[in-house]
A = this chain, B = another copy of it.
Amino acid sequence: MDIALQRGTGRERAVYRQISDHIRLEVAGGRLEAGDRLPPIRNLARDLGVNRDTVALAYEELVNAGIAVSTVGRGTFVARANAAPSAEDFHPVLSPLTERLLSFERARPQFGSTANAVPMHSIVPDQSLYPADEFRRVLNRVLQQSGPELLLYGSPQGHLGLRETLAERLQREGIDTSANGILLCHGASQGISLGLRLFAQAGDTVAVEEPTYNNVLAAAHGLGFKIAPVPMREAGLDLDALDRILARPEVKVLYTIPTFHNPLGSTTSVDHRRRLLEIAARHRKPVIEDGYETDLRFSGRAVPSLAALDRTGLVLHLFSFSKSLFPGARVGAITAHGRLIEALLALKQATDLSDALPLQAALAEFAASGAYDRHLGRVRRVLRERCDALLDALAREMPDGTHWTQPDGGLQLWVELPEEIETRDLLSDAAVAGVFFAPGFQFNHDGRSSNCLRLTFAMAEPEALRAGVAALARVIVERLEGKPRMDRVQI
């Protein structure tokens, strides 16, 4: 990129503005198009003979103006143009809740291509393990057998055969349910929204663990719920804090992940669960139990779910195929009691009528035939091996003062670094060093800084996990030793 900079007259625009204005004109004139990559900061700085920070500032200004986008470890790109040139005429007033949700979403770190970094940031099961071909054949068969039936609107409750199969599985885990006590939904994530909306409306408060699954925070922000964080301890959420929080009348419901917690990876004991239920029952507050990874236990003995221990009907249990099989079917399930099912049906229908039956019907067949259990057996072995490799690497590489959880299942664990480190600040260096991780701040309800991070062993094989941990450890050690950052990428 050739930019004729004006300098030394004392009247010219700041150099960073000259750079950003030049790029603005190139975009406006169509010489740079959406998706084009801007030169790496270091190269442009060298070519123009300016400081890297000057170029970084120019790029930051373009990003803030919506003209460019930056992704960790990939660089800066020309943003997509506005679809309508005329859209400038109309400045729609978004609802304050939508604005709040947008701010929350914008704070999420953006990760680029995983080609040059070990992907330990995102809980997406490894696609190389998906039984894609077997599922495709089942889907084709059920569509062939059913004809157009499966292309009608389904009941808002979802495909009966899948509900029957799930009811049987859940019963075997000790949960008192039936096909009528289950509502199928669009992934456990839709189940979270529907479940929260049963009990809470804008202005109400929902209790969640902290840290917790960041999409629960997004759902709550978008729905206008206030959040009461219950601190996570080693044994699970702080029961005394829960007791105080559920006593507050404005707190309508608790969302909790007792098994293979996200982001912690930890699992609570039966005793902790019984005490949690006792507290909820005493305050007559319902509990949404997210069992999204329950099927992924690879060591230790199964702990009965809250729903299995519950004798009063206050637990809604969420199940999902997204982590244990693949996310692309977008099928989850809520188990609930009595009139809660009727209310969930009404909410589901008012939200999007019903789900697509073909994928539900195929999952029913896939699960009933034993193919899902065979897949689970295979995946559990792979995950155990990956988790062991990750734990070994952490023990070998991480500096003193670092701690981590030891999951018995699921796809993630939690690392606590020395207090002086803000893990968000490590992202760029880690990306350059070759590893992506999920910084802890995004699991806090207020986005406050965190010296923790989540690592997943979902996507990478043992060797890559070892390389990723080595890279991460290097970055941490350098930060602890106060070394300057080598090649900072703007994010």
> Hey, which bits of chain A sit against chain B, CB under 8 A?
34, 80-98, 101-102, 104-105, 124, 127-128, 130, 132-133, 135-136, 139-140, 143-144, 147-154, 176-178, 180-181, 185-187, 189-190, 193, 197-204, 215, 218-219, 221-222, 224, 252, 281, 284, 286, 311-314, 322, 326-330, 336-343, 345-347, 349-359
Contact = CB atoms under 8 A, between A and B. Distances in A.
Nearest to A311: B86
Contacts of A102: 342-343, 346
Given A83-B338, A92-B314, A351 B201 contact: no
Contacts of A193: 350-352
Contact of A311 (B89, B329, B343): B89
A314 B132 CA distance: 42
A313 B84 contact: yes
Nearest to A357: B328
A306 B39 CA distance: 42
A201 to B, nearest CB: 4
A347 B204 contact: no
Nearest to A202: B202
Contact of A352 (B98, B186, B201, B336): B186
A337 B83 contact: yes
A187 to B, nearest CB: 6
24 contacts: A81-B180, A83-B180, A86-B313, A86-B337, A87-B338, A90-B281, A92-B286, A92-B340, A95-B197, A96-B201, A98-B199, A101-B343, A105-B345, A127-B149, A132-B143, A132-B151, A133-B144, A151-B327, A152-B328, A187-B352, A190-B352, A222-B351, A328-B356, A330-B353
B199 A87 contact: no
Contacts of A222: 197, 346-347, 350-351
Contact of A143 (B34, B127, B136, B148): B136
Contacts of A338: 82-84, 87-88
Given A312-B90, A357-B328, A84 B150 contact: no
Given A86-B312, A340-B92, A127 B151 contact: yes
A233 to B, nearest CB: 27
A90 B124 CA distance: 36
A141 to B, nearest CB: 10
Given A88-B313, A222-B346, 20 more contacts: A80-B180, A83-B178, A83-B336, A89-B311, A90-B337, A92-B286, A95-B197, A95-B200, A95-B252, A124-B152, A124-B153, A140-B140, A151-B329, A153-B322, A186-B355, A193-B352, A215-B350, A218-B350, A219-B350, A329-B356
B140 A84 contact: no
Contact of A148 (B90, B130, B341): B130
A148 B124 contact: no
Which of A84, A89, A136, A284 has the most chain B CB within a 10 Å cutoff? A84
